Amino acid sequence: MITKIHNFEIDLSKPIDISIPITNDEQNPIAWYQNAPEINPVVMGDWIGKVSEGKSSTNFNNLFFNPHAHGTHTECLGHITKEFYSINQCLKQFFFWATLISVQPEKVGEDLVISKSQIEKALQSVQNSEIKSEAIVIRTLPNEASKKSLKYSNTNPPFLSEEAALFFRESGIQHLLIDLPSVDKERDEGKLVAHKAFWNVTDVNHLNVDARLNSTITEMIFVPNEVHDGNYMLNLQIASFENDASPSKPILYSIQ
């Protein structure tokens, strides 16, 4: 199915799924010191909600998971504010022009950091002057398939510098997607400088009038190596949770 948007053709029959699903086995990635997610059939007396057990006509599972810790998720500024904000209320549009870039984080002391200069350099080679990107998708290098099942807790994963996050905000990027468990350092004493810079939050207790209520951060994606850097159409879908974050399914479509 080909659709045309602003003189660009997009083949909706060829989606590029960059999400990591939630499973209940060792293949599930885990962050933030949590245990593995649980997917288990409901048990009520001698009734088990599993067709293969022979006592139910349906599969009827309970799920226990943390959206921030167990797979691809999209969050709004309610993730860091005293007042409650829901991703289901903040994200109201779902299709965006997006730019995919690949960056190898730089060694800074004991950390691996994605800098503003790296972002600018990567963008120079792929941006299309006819497209105003609303979303940025960051693939970190090296890009190994093991990312889809990594156990991130206590590993100090790479993260985004405050200057890079500010650059995205000032560039008008509304949606930031990255293949790491967080845009911020794993243990940063709660500073969350990249989150705050991107959402323009200076005081988590009292939002400034220009805080970015409709901007989102999506973490723990995975972009296969065969997907080239460049411009895409992004479909960013979430489950309808009234929560600061939701499991999500970002899909890229090539632009002709």
Q: Residue 188: helix, strand or coil by DSSP?
A: coil
Would you tell me how many other CB atoms lie within 10 Å of the CB of residue 113? 18
Report how many domains make up the chain: 1
Domain assignment present for 40 = no
CB neighbours of 80 closer than 8 A, spacing ≥ 6?
192, 195, 196, 199, 201, 204
Is residue 2 very low, low, confident or very high in pLDDT (cuts 50, 70, 90)? confident
Condensed to tens digits (0 to 9), the pLDDT of residues 140-152 reads 999 999 999 999 9
Mean pLDDT across the chain, nearest whole number?
95
Domain assignment present for 58 = no
Q: Burial, 165: exposed, middle or buried (Cβ in 10 Å; 0-12, 13-18, 19+)?
A: buried
Condensed to tens digits (0 to 9), the pLDDT of residues 184-226 reads 999 999 999 999 999 999 999 999 899 999 999 999 999 999 9
CB neighbours of 165 closer than 8 A, spacing ≥ 6?
176, 183, 193, 194, 195, 197, 198
Domain assignment present for 124 = yes
DSSP codes joined into one string, 26-48: TTS-B-TT----EEEE-EETTEE
Domain assignment present for 100 = yes
Condensed to tens digits (0 to 9), the pLDDT of residues 48-84 reads 999 998 889 999 999 999 999 999 999 999 999 999 9
Domain CATH for 126: 3.50.30.50
Domain assignment present for 57 = no
H helix and E strand count, the chain: 4, 17
- Full domain range(s) for residue 221: 2-22+67-254
pTM for the full model? 0.96
Please list the residues that pair with 230 across neighbouring strands: 100
